[in-house]
Structure 1
Amino acid sequence: MSETGCRIDVWLWRARFAKTRTLAAVMVERGAVRLTHHGVQTRLDKAARPVHVGDVLVFALGGRLMVLTVAALGERRGPAEEARALYSLSGPEI
């Protein structure tokens, strides 16, 4: 992808919401991730869909609903503190 976008499965893996890219892709392909980009919300269906800085993601993880804003795309899957810098929680975790 470009510097302005990143595949959603790669981003979820880098941000440590999925243990592997394959698990991240499965999560996306089963329709468990919603993306809001420029005010338009879409239920993602393909792991290759791009995510951009400023997009809002909504998905269930561990029985909780996560609402977060993409703060950075990341260069690699790094340690936990590096992963936490890739997003900010936008709403309450339910």
Structure 2
Amino acid sequence: MIEAKSVRIDKWLWAARFFKTRSLASAAIDAGHVHLNKERIKPARLLKLADVLRIRTEQGEFEISVLGLSEQRGPATAARMLYQESEESVLRRQRDQEARQLAPRFEHPAGEGRPSKKWRRQLHQFEQKNSSSE
């Protein structure tokens, strides 16, 4: 791990293993999924120690403070040493994950693709039954 005074934020996000590639990190920053000290930023913005980041990924929303800087991607154990996640963020992600698991899911019985004629009829009957009861 190379220590530096400041690092581009897209490089740091890649090195800290929030994103698999720098281009994915840059795309997330451009899309507004990464905020530095509650401000929207650009991928070339320099990151310093003690900065606070809010990162929204597929795994949830992370609120972290920067403890170390690195431009090189290393093992996951070294990546975890670059930041510290707030306890509130951990609890919020766990609560959101539980809510996603408990949420009802619509799954097509045949798997992928368009519904069959039989399945469309069943959907239509279901919709009629629910709309008539309201």
- The aligned counterpart of 1:68 is 64
- The aligned counterpart of 2:50 is 54
Higher helix proportion, which one? 2
- CA distance in structure 1 between the aligned counterparts of 2:17 and 2:83, rounded to whole angstroms: 11
* Alignment deviations for residues 60-94 of structure 1 (CA, whole Å, 9 cap, x no partner): 12251100001000241000001001000123232
Partner-residue secondary structure (3-state), 1:92: helix
- The aligned counterpart of 2:35 is 34
Higher strand proportion, which one? 1
- CA distance in structure 2 between the aligned counterparts of 1:14 and 1:80, rounded to whole angstroms: 9
Instruction: Give the partner amino acid of 1:48.
Output: A
TM-score, normalised via structure 1 length: 0.85
- CA distance in structure 2 between the aligned counterparts of 1:27 and 1:75, rounded to whole angstroms: 18
**Structure 2 counterparts to residues 14-33 of structure 1, below 5 A:** 14-33=15-34
Alignment length, in residue pairs?
87
Partner-residue secondary structure (3-state), 1:54: coil
Larger Rg: 2
Q: Is the aligned partner of 1:87 residue 2:83?
A: yes
Q: Unaligned regions of 5+ residues in structure 2, if any? A: 93-134
Runs of 4+ aligned structure 1 residues displaced above 6 Å come to none
Q: Unaligned regions of 5+ residues in structure 1, if any? A: none
